[in-house]
Amino acid sequence: MVASTLTVDPLEAITPEFGDTPGFFQLYTPDDRGIAESFLHRTEVAGFKGIVVTLDTWVAGWRPRDLARSSFPQLRGYCLANYFSDPVFRSRLAKPPEEDPAAAVRLWSELFGARLTWADLPWLRSLTKRPLLLKGTCHPDDVRRAIDGGVDGIYCSTHGSRQANGGIGCLDMLPAVVEAAGKTPVLFDSSVRTGSDVLKALALGATAVGIGRPYAWGLALDGTDGIVHVLRCLLAEADLLMAIDGYSTMADLRSAALMRS
């Protein structure tokens, strides 16, 4: 489970729900190193097993439906629990968020989204000894440079391609990313909607496949039971498709399983 920086509940309330599932923290690095360092310290105390640093989107794209609805939840104070509960963030405010939420939201909007460069990687690496993954790494040259900089995993992702309309499909970039990564694990997501999508990514060399939107749909329709149903459907479809195509184990899946028409 990868939990975002932008959540309704503070990170300390999330880890107890993981059980035996490893929890990773997806860091949207603030433009304030003190707050970023505080976040990572808190994740270590809370028991997160690794850090996923988001690289692939710091500004929302042109999204007419969101614009028509004036939809930007964070500007209304939603999903900012990790900021509002952070001691360093709170120290930057004249009043606590509980007393002046508008000022807290304004400060968040000014700090959200540091424009990271390769020069920031040694600093990020120095903040934790836990596994560090870079999310949004889609070019082989960047993959090699990231590994040389000490990352433990590559996360091939275009953030679901929901920001930059017309961009290259993430799956098309995956084989070159896997080849450049060598023995370094490669996670994959972006527009995964079916069990078939999962198997395609695994066949192309992904170590693991993430989903986002499908379980959100399940949650909206039927709460926890809806999420469980979505996950079971994905797993069942993948299992049946492997059986139909004659693959006994995940290890049997190779790129030869796929044919481009």
Just list the catalytic residues. Answer: 159
| Residue 40 CB burial class (10 angstroms; 0-12, 13-18, ≥19) | buried
| Cα–Cα nearest to 120, from 78, 82, 150 | 150
Query: How many whole angstroms separate alpha carbon 135 and alpha carbon 25?
Result: 12
- To the nearest 10°, report the CA torsion of 126, 132, 137, 141: 60
